[in-house]
Amino acid sequence: MSSFQTSPGMRDILPPESSRWRAFTQVFADVVEAAGYQQLIPPLLEDLGVFTRIGDATDVVTKEMYDFVDKGDRRVALRPEQTASVCRSFAQHRPVTPWKVFYSGPNFRYERPQRGRYRQFDQVGIEVLGVDDPMLDVEVIALAWEFYQQLGLQQVSLIVNSLGEPDDRSRYVEALRTHFAAAGDSLTEQSRTTLGKNPLRVLDSKREPDAPFIESAPQISDFYSDEAAAHFDAVQAGLRALDIPFTLEPKLVRGLDYYRRTIFEFQGGTLDSAQNALGGGGRYDGLVEALGGPATSGIGFALGVDRTLLACDDEGVFAAEPRDLDAFVVDVVGGIEAVKLTAELRQAGFAVDRGYDNRSMKAQMKLANRSNAAVALIIGEDEVANNAVVVKPMRGGDQQTIPRSELIEHLSGNLSQKTGTHD
């Protein structure tokens, strides 16, 4: 047994699952690139301050950060999410707006690992900086929706809310503070602590004793300014125009502190309720400014790769499909012929593997079988002498001896060069 194992909450994504991961990000990139988004690849590690600016009332920042002092005495952290990095990048480089970017890659949160919750987990996401138009909110939500459709997921539901303008939100927060404070010790201790920092987050509590006070809490919609109400109405009208089904959820506040106006979450129909959020996002005007840039409106979403793939498993869609091999070369005359033939075929665009170590014909044919290649290409003494190759179909059919000079043409005509697709 190996003496080292992955750390808690960290996983190897092994083949063939790994090819599904790559296909997942490819489908995502295809959907958002077709809408004008370009990829940003921020570093995994940032100045700790980039994340503490997100807010100090979130567990993500206060309890779960992988932060440390590097060899140059800098306080740094592995990113727990990527929106803050995107905003830091915008503030640093000042690109022209609208800046429409997408990202994919791992984040780190020191959480209690369980199914669908890991310490290293991947997200794909988009962010748009510099546009206030509610129709952009609609576009952003619609792209996530389109992506779920492309994966084949049928049981995803969309919930939306608006947190209003910052002033509306402040008045609402005060009303919540008063409401929850009146509950006194009936509220759980954790919620009383949260109340001191950010009353909004008390609405996130899933603890039973808090439920009646959350139920009777004031509603954000009663605090909307005309402007906030108009923005939210426009977003809903846009979603209806695109036939995207959604539910209004006035108690949706989302985990991170920086949201205002539109917020939304996608929930899977098959996962446990604690892990059923597949992704979410919203508007976060103010974050770029907090990171030293100009006042800039922003909106985006992040979708959890790990959890979305669990939902795909549960719904039986988007299966792992590693690339099929076209051919497996079996060389029983020393190996140099296999070196030449595999190189030639790979250059011609075929996916080709081979046997090694000059093993017996039987052993190499076993490998050819296991490789799932469409044909075995066999080279023995006779084939070398005649400058030919035996082509043996692995899924039925007669073997044929083909002159070496005609092999590529023969294979092109006989193999569908289909690579792994996820249609």
**For ligand AMP, which residue of 47, 111, 289, 353 counts as binding (CB under 6 A)?**
111
Residue nearest ligand AMP (C-beta atom): 304
Determine the Cα–Cα distance for residues 361 and 393; give it in Å rounded to an integer: 16
Q: How far is the CB of 264 from ligand AMP (least distance, A)?
A: 11
280 binding ligand AMP? (CB under 6 A): yes
Determine the Cα–Cα distance for residues 186 and 175; give it in Å rounded to an integer: 18
Residue 111 vs 321, nearer CB to ligand AMP? 111
Bridge-based pairing of strands 277-283 and 298-304 is antiparallel
Bridge-based pairing of strands 352-354 and 260-267 is unpaired
Quickly tell me which residue has 């009353």 as its tokens. 199
Q: How far is the CB of 106 from ligand AMP (least distance, A)?
A: 10
Binders of ligand AMP in range 114-133 (CB under 6 A): 116-118, 121, 123
Contact segment (CB under 6 A) with ligand AMP among 90-98, 274-282, 310-318, 381-389 equals: 274-282
Q: How far is the CB of 261 from ligand AMP (least distance, A)?
A: 16
Burial of 63 (0-12, 13-18, 19+ CB in 10 A): exposed
Identity of residue 323: R
Q: How far is the CB of 74 from ligand AMP (least distance, A)?
A: 24
Q: How far is the CB of 119 from ligand AMP (least distance, A)?
A: 7
Contact segment (CB under 6 A) with ligand AMP among 15-23, 48-56, 194-202, 299-307 equals: 299-307
**For ligand AMP, which residue of 81, 139, 210, 326 counts as binding (CB under 6 A)?**
81
277 binding ligand AMP? (CB under 6 A): yes
269 binding ligand AMP? (CB under 6 A): no
Residue 272 vs 406, nearer CB to ligand AMP? 272
201 binding ligand AMP? (CB under 6 A): no
Binding mask 249-268 for ligand AMP (x = CB under 6 A): ------x-------------
Residue 121 vs 232, nearer CB to ligand AMP? 121
Binding mask 302-321 for ligand AMP (x = CB under 6 A): x-x-xx--------------
Contact segment (CB under 6 A) with ligand AMP among 110-118, 146-154, 227-235, 309-317 equals: 110-118
Q: How far is the CB of 276 from ligand AMP (least distance, A)?
A: 9
67 binding ligand AMP? (CB under 6 A): no
Q: How far is the CB of 308 from ligand AMP (least distance, A)?
A: 7
Contact between 167 and 44 (Cβ < 8 Å)? no
Contact segment (CB under 6 A) with ligand AMP among 32-40, 203-211, 277-285, 361-369 equals: 277-285
Interface residues with ligand AMP (CB under 6 A)? 81, 109, 111, 116-118, 121, 123, 255, 277-280, 302, 304, 306-307
